[in-house]
Chains A and B, each alone.
Chain A
Amino acid sequence: MKLELQGITKVFGTFVANDAIDLVVEPGEIHSLLGENGAGKSTLMNVLYGLYRPDGGEILLDDRPAHFSGPGDAMRAGIGMVHQHFMLVPPFTVAENVMLGHEPTSKGLLDLATARRTVREISERFGFDLEPDAVVEDLPVGAQQRVEIVKALSRRAEVLVLDEPTAVLTPQETDELMGIMRQLRDEGTSIVFITHKLREVKAVADRITVIRRGKVVGTADPTADQTDLASLMVGRAVSLDLDKAPATPGEVALEVRGLSVRDAAGTPVLDRVDLDVHEGEVLGVAGVQGNGQTELTEALLGLQSEARGSIRLRGQELVGRNTRQILDAGVGFVPEDRTHDALIADFTVAENLILDQHHRPPFGSGLSLHPAAIRERATAEVAEFDVRTGSIEDHVSTLSGGNQQKVVMARALGRELSLFIASQPTRGVDVGSIEFLHRRIIAERDKGTPVVIVSTELDEVIQLSDRIAVMYRGAILGIVPATEDRDVLGLMMAGYTVEAAREAVAAGRGRTADSTLAHEGEPA
């Protein structure tokens, strides 16, 4: 089906989210909508999906105007959407989720058999391997996303909108998803692929439309240069390569030995981890989400009460100390989930900037806070990190994701550190800010601080790190230099040891193995 958007305009108050946007998606085409966070991509797609009513413009399906008053209308017209935050009911089974809203019934009762058959048919057609009776919350994210796709296809979607679909996926799962997208395209489905990741756009898109500040600023072919695309997206020249000087590692500053954590059910989630981090180097921790990275950073910060083993920072034992003591020992920490663990949404920017030091001079003493010192500090940090905020007294919730992340980073980096730990330092951050944040991390390294970076984005780990540790099922599978082959790292993230991964890649099996890694999460 051909989809055409003509002059779509959507205004929230005085803010123009979409300004006369034109977009044509031909049948059987993967059309990439490229833009930074807040550029208006999601707004546009919500207009298309009937969640927002446009203030101007028209939607044409196969050259006929269409009007949607809700998602139901859009679905009936053949538009399916895979939301960034999955619209799945966690305790329901796959079949129940797929049939929700258009349930087959027989004699007034749910016809589960038909629903199961639908799921099996569609998932077999695309090699999804989904069990209709599996409970969705037990599935890995990649499989959940496939449930979303099956859900859309079961409603005979001819236009499929994928909103930032790779944000939650591993490199292997991303490859698989791209395979699925190509297969869908070849069967005639039109795909709108929303993303801000240039590598993926170039890999899979047939055409690219770039949006900036609610306007279409250009279209491009997938052959376009990554840097050009990035500049178009951001609106100024950006450099994608982080040309960092080689590290000059000093003595070992952080020694982790036999660090183990068990979850409430007694399963080891962190399994005898040994690590050394030197002064002035970045140790990157790569791995598929949920392989113990969260527990590792939390254990380092004293947030895991059940941690066993030893963590020595410049000879000082940290296991058994509380978080306050560890912070006071000079550990700077950026949690992986900025909205839940890093910021208090209804506090001001200034207050959030001193959350970890509010109790001691110069920001506070005894029972009182010292507003002048807090303001002074906030003004300086906001200027240094280029946080775009109306005022330091604005609630941090009014800031964009990228600017919120800058606040978190500014707080962690704003003092003398003996160790810097950052988890997902640029998650949900636009290209322009990523560049800046990466430079700040390297600057901290060059001051001689040992740095630990945890990221599920392999590209980011490779860019920032001097050495890379790969985590798998709570253990460190190996530590390799940052120059290691990307495919080797990908295989290690899937559970191969260093040697086995190198052998496999040397034998040319690296890429073929990706497509067989369908059952993420089952015990080996």
Chain B
Amino acid sequence: MSTALAPDSPAASTREAPGRPERPRSWWYLPAGLAALAVIALGVFARGAAAGATTTFRLAREGDLNPGGIVPGDVALPAGGTALVLGLLCLAIAVVLGVLAAISRPLAPRWRITLVVVFGLAWVTAFLTWAFNGARVDLGTLLQTMMVLAVPLAFGALSGVLSERAGVINIAIEGQLLFGAFGAVLIGSMAGSAWVGLLAAPLMALVIGALLALFAIGYQVQQIIVGVVLNVFAIGLTSFFFGSVMKQNPGLFNRPLRLPTLRIPVLADLPVIGTVLFEQTILVYLMFLIVVGLTIALFRTRWGLRVRAVGEHPRAADTVGIDVNRTRWTNVLLGAAVAGLGGATLTIGTGVAFGEEMSSGKGYIALAAMILGRYHPVGALLAALVFAFADALQLNIGTLPAGAGAGIPSQFLLMLPYIVTLFAVAGVVGRVRVPAADGVPYVKQ
């Protein structure tokens, strides 16, 4: 309207234009939350470390590809001092964000996110120097543990992305993981090959996917309820077979198989990240491949455009000739197969036999990762890594020798991943845009 009215728009001149939008009521939530965390860093981490204690971070290891020692081996930092400096940095970031929000000059999203990420890194490092004071943190091992824990979560979250982008709520990720883990071991053991198990895992998870699609799309049953029921069904069925056939003849039905580790020459020798990224089973590489492939497919191809249309406004998709329910079926099945791969990482990916309820809630954490990742494959992967890092930290701190570290009670450590989940989902991401037709069955008129 500006162009049309500009020459003779008395309204614009006589009425003052509405000023800069007033700051929203929630402007102080993020700065205040960060400031509280910064105060914890200063009050607990900086003061809690034993006087004169140092924390050693191990970066490069013997034999790493590290010409001229660019990456130092062990870095010893004074625990208290480092935590103090980092805590002050955190506080500064919180104050900057707070002041900018208070005077209604919020930063561009990119800078805001950068600052929040810097805050996160500084805070976590401060935490590490405190938790490991007087001991050594092996970053390579820590990240390796994180990767192992992240893979099933990431597969699960990708399964959620596939199905929910098309408008079907996938609570059944847990059941799909479990069936995948079960199928990989059962069929793999019978065939005597982990590779056969790798093929069997997604196929087995398809059973849960097909049931979910049948009830959610075919019979339009409330999708959350179907998902939960399927999870219980998966636990029941796998526990039954575990307790009967697998127990009687573990040699034939439940052998600890392991997929070979594929080492990528040269790259695997890089310090810190070498083994984490380039010395893994095929499942890890497959996960990265799916993340990249799915991102391109969802946002750059005809298929993805149609899937997203079906998840947002199925009737509009229908009126341009897209078969809504067929699209949903396909995506739920694809998602189940992907989650099945995630299940395989729990057994043949890590070389353990099947155990009762071994998915132990990972499907639900994967669901949280999907939401935190804003229904985006890359976001889902990053969120899975965050959760897995918290979990890995917990495991690592738990194995500290007595006397070293901050002596955090193990019960608190066990809560760590879930606290991170809560904070992440509630605080940092803000509002997540859910596909508009997520969970709404499509009925033709």
Give me the interface of A with B, judged by CB distance under 8 Å: 46, 49, 51-52, 70-72, 75, 81, 83, 86-92, 96, 99-103, 105, 108-110, 151, 262, 264-268, 271, 472-475, 477, 494-497, 499-500, 504, 509, 513, 516-524
Interface contact B445-A101, CB-CB below 8 Å? no
B300, closest chain A residue (CB):
A109
CA A523 to CA B312, docked complex, whole Å: 29
Which candidate, B64-72, B112-120, B303-311, is the interface stretch facing chain A? B303-311
Interface contact B12-A524, CB-CB below 8 Å: yes
Q: Is the pair A519, B8 in contact by a Cβ cutoff of 8 Å?
A: no
B2 at the binding interface (Cβ < 8 Å): yes
CA distance A151 to B309 in the complex (A): 15
A476 to chain B, nearest CB (A): 10
Question: In whole Å, how far is A129's beta carbon from the nearest beta carbon of chain B?
Answer: 10
Can you spell out 11 A-B residue pairs with CB atoms less than 8 angstroms apart?
A: A72-B320, A86-B316, A89-B308, A92-B309, A100-B309, A109-B300, A266-B23, A475-B15, A477-B15, A495-B5, A500-B10
Contact B18 A71 (CB under 8 A): no
Instruction: Contact check, B11 vs A500: say whether CB atoms are below 8 A apart.
Output: yes
Contact of B12 among A100, A101, A495 (CB under 8 A): A495
Known: A109-B301, A266-B23, A524-B12. A71 touches B17 (CB 8 A): no
Which residues of chain B are within 8 angstroms of A52 by Cβ–Cβ distance?
A: 445
Interface residue count on the B side (C-beta < 8 Å): 42
Report the bound CA distance from A522 to B317 in whole Å: 29
With both beta carbons as reference points, the residue of chain A lying nearest to B25 in the complex is identified as: A264
Are A101 and B320 also in contact (CB < 8 A) when A87-B313, A110-B305, A262-B22 are? yes
Chain B residues lying within 8 Å of A262, measured Cβ to Cβ, are: 22
A475 to B10, CA, bound (A): 15
By a CB distance below 8 angstroms, the chain B residues around A75 are 320-321
Contact of B445 among A46, A87, A105 (CB under 8 A): A46
B21 near A71 (CB under 8 angstroms)?
no
> Does the CB pair B436–A519 fall under 8 Å?
no
Considering the complex, give the chain B residue whose CB is closest to the CB of A517: B4
A495 to B6, CA, bound (A): 11
Contact indicator A524/B5 (Cβ below 8 Å):
yes
Which residues in chain B, 281-340, are within 8 Å of chain A measured between CB atoms?
296, 300-302, 305-306, 308-309, 312-313, 315-322
Which residue on A lies nearest to B302, using beta carbons?
A103
On whether the beta carbons of B436 and A504 are closer than 8 Å, the reply is no
Q: Are B10 and A499 in contact, with the CB atoms below 8 A?
A: yes
Q: A72, B321: Cβ atoms under 8 Å?
A: yes
How long is the Cα–Cα vector from A81 to B318 in the complex, in angstroms?
A: 13
A221–chain B nearest beta-carbon distance, Å: 33
Closest CB-CB distance, A448 to chain B, in whole Å? 35
Give every chain A residue within 8 A of B316 (Cβ-Cβ). 86-89, 100
B residues near A497, Cβ cutoff 8 Å: 10-11, 14-15
Chain B interface residues (CB < 8 Å from chain A): 1-6, 8-12, 14-15, 17-18, 21-25, 104, 296, 300-302, 305-306, 308-309, 312-313, 315-322, 433, 436, 445
Closest 6 CB pairs of A and B: A101-B320, A72-B321, A266-B22, A500-B10, A87-B316, A516-B4
Instruction: State in angstroms the CA–CA spacing of A253 and B48 once bound together.
Output: 68
Shortest Cβ gap from B298 to chain A (Å): 11
C-alpha spacing A523/B25, complex, angstroms: 23
Let me know if A522 and B2 touch, CB within 8 A: yes
Inter-subunit contact A91/B22 (CB<8 Å)? no
A517 contacts across to B, CB distance below 8 A: 1, 4-5
Q: Measured between alpha carbons, how far is A83 from B316 in the docked complex, in Å?
A: 10
Chain A residues with CB under 8 Å of B8's CB are 500, 504, 509
Complex contacts, A496 vs chain B, CB 8 Å: 9-11
Q: How far is the CB of A15 from chain B (nearest CB, A)?
A: 15
A11 to chain B, nearest CB (A): 15
B442 to nearest A CB, angstroms? 14
**Which of A71, A87, A100, A264 has the most CB atoms of chain B within a 10 A radius of its CB?**
A100
Of B24, B302, B312, which contacts A89 at CB under 8 A? B312
Q: For the complex, give the distance between the alpha carbons of A509 and B5 in Å.
A: 13
Smallest Cβ distance from A67 to chain B, in angstroms?
Answer: 16
* A96-B305, A103-B302, A519-B3 known; A90-B436 Cβ under 8 A: yes
5 new A-B contacts at CB < 8 Å, known A477-B11, A500-B8, A521-B1: A89-B308, A99-B305, A265-B21, A495-B11, A519-B3
Complex interface: chain A residues within 8 A of B22 (CB) = 262, 266-267
Alpha-carbon gap, A369 to B305, bound state (A): 52
A87-B313, A91-B312 as given contacts; A264 in contact with B24, CB under 8 Å: yes
B104 / chain A contacts, CB cutoff of 8 Å: 266
A519 near B302: Cβ-Cβ < 8 Å: no
Task: Specify which chain B residues have a CB less than 8 angstroms from the CB of A271 in the assembled complex.
Answer: 18
Bound: A35/B48 CA distance, A: 79
A473/B321 in contact, CB under 8 A: no
With A496-B11, A500-B8 known as contacts, the answer to whether A524 contacts B2 (CB < 8 A) is yes
- Closest residue of chain A to B312 (Cβ to Cβ) is A89
- Chain B's nearest CB lies how many Å from the CB of A495? 4
Separation of A494 and B11 alpha carbons in the complex (Å): 9
